[in-house]
Chain A
């Protein structure tokens, strides 16, 4: 029995120097990949290349232009945008914004291309040509033009005229994503500071897609800087309490640090970017992998206290632990690797990096750790440990109350699970960032005062070249835009028909009665030709008209909405199109907001498959490891119930699950299964090797692994609670729910699993006592 394990332990000790050097070389090689790691600064990383919403949006961007932006929102302290001094600030900011790296377009009140009729001329000029020449009269005129212009109101100026914006469109080449976005952000922040210093009566807020992208890396960096050290500290304290020795604690920390470095480096080799989810990998590896070393060391100290010498104690510890530590590492890795089913690449990366880290910590815990220990002077006081009184009393309590506990726990589970449907799949991606991230505050200000961050892009298609000049098509586009304007969610609609109406008025001597769509196709086409010839560099219409003029881009700006509200609005809009569109041949909603709206559901569906496969694999491993079909299947109860209970409690208290939580089930599955493995293997050993009946076996399991389960669960809960402090909601939600599920798993393993085992074995008890125990 355990011949292989003992031989393995002996070999490790025999070739300890070789083992240490080989381990360090392996870690060194894996860690060398760290140089490829870079912070991602693009929200697109959350969407796989074949995500349909992403593909639709990229097709739209390739048809028109990319519209990633930085928006400067300017709030004058006197609450009036239309004063000479504020216009001077806007003018200067506009001019300087052309210098923003990768900028392709700058839109503001001052460079808005105002059109006017001048006799038979079409005058196209900047709304503010020279702010120094502005008179009160002209300011009043500009105000009246701006707040009545559908292109500007609720986009670049508020209707109360108390805030205005300068919007900078950038075309990031995407060659070096890690540097491009920070470059733009650094430049624009400096620019904003410079303008604020020169014009102290204005305050500038910064939002837009580029700022959001940058916030992803800021959130990751925050987590790396604060959460990782905090979790190290907590783990160190925990280790000191558990191992009661500095040498063991220090050595365990070394093993964990090497595992983290190796895993992150391996991620770099594979080419993973650092995203807020994958930035949690060090904390998770630290938390999950600590158990491997702890098991080896605890057993080792135990045998030394029993009087064994150092080498013998270590070989014995290896003999006892090699298999269970391998099994738990394997099941944990499978749980994390099931995240590969996720439609969200950062979760794939996180899952794989953690799996690598866990397997690495297993390898190091059974090679490097014993090899180093064998070289260190280790002294313990020899004494025979007393039985664990606390665990024995819990064991007795469970055995004595098993007939009440089983239905009681079952009822609790049923009640909690009944709250599960109260969870609604819902996300507000803007709220992924908490208030410690500047972008969130600035965006909240912008949404409250000026315009939204949530956009739907439509490529409204006529399906014939030049079709955008067809009056019937234009009319439908306008109706569609007007329908959106009536929706309570809508803040602004940017639509080409407004330009057409304005041109029609201009070319009829600014006659207000002609502020309507041209009624003839050639007329629209020729207006458009004329207007396009009058526009300056960077302010053209190529961002909203495609090359063969068969389609136009319509952008709807919305309040901050949840994914459910977004999807509902999308449904209503396609319903409208279905009922009303005849000349609009296609108008699919796309854009980052739509991508985020769909990702939660897509991810849950993809994770269902992942979780199922992980569950099947883990159950099979347990059946093989326990060499019992019955016990293997029984293990599914304490493996699955905690997640179901966790989501039930979540449904009761929170009620909303988003992208973050859709990975929790499979992730916790691999973790909670460890407790089950340890408990059941001890139970089974007691039954088979010592021939105890099920009540005695339960008591044995409690006294032998109960405390270990308790302490490892506390470690895990503490580690994941650290994640709950993340400024990135995906991580904090995931951390919180995972901690909850792990706590519930401990309760299930202590209070539900033993009564269930005893119940299942009631009938076979009498039979078994007669037969010699199998070995």
Chain B
């Protein structure tokens, strides 16, 4: 019997699960290799668990989502979180340091109708996660590697080096050294394909903090380049603002 694959969505933009549909050359092969048992964005078919592989997009931001992720975990042999929302809480995790009631009232005229938690948190804060794919959005090649590896019963090979290392590998001149552009490359996990520095833009941290990231040293360097407190705060307060290393650094500049 083919392994059962399920794709789940929590608070998110759909972009990471879209990445699966964007595997145009591989999609029909994937559909032959697995039984797509639940993937609401693509099919009406909804089969009961248990599932061999669950891909989970999005953060946990409502009480209902807290319940639902527990059920999905119980029904899944392997659970893989995909993207910045699922692995770090997403841009919406910026609410975690704000007053939720006033934020809600600033967007909705009748905030009492809006049912949401005061925080947006990653999936791993609620249930055990087997593997995580970083990125806002995830990288297509990493997704295919993860699915292929798991179908073959091996561990996916995923990058653990920094964005800085990607520049060195690609031969991209350092944007910070040569142009004085603020860049999170030294503290951000690689894997996007060196997108921003290669076009003369500083890395903005889509893939979240690399393990052991020295954010404080980078913040000092950014200040030395002339970046103001607000710039440093918002650079760490991006799409992976909820990741602990970035959240702490952001807090140091939020005044």
Q: Do A and B come from one complex?
A: no
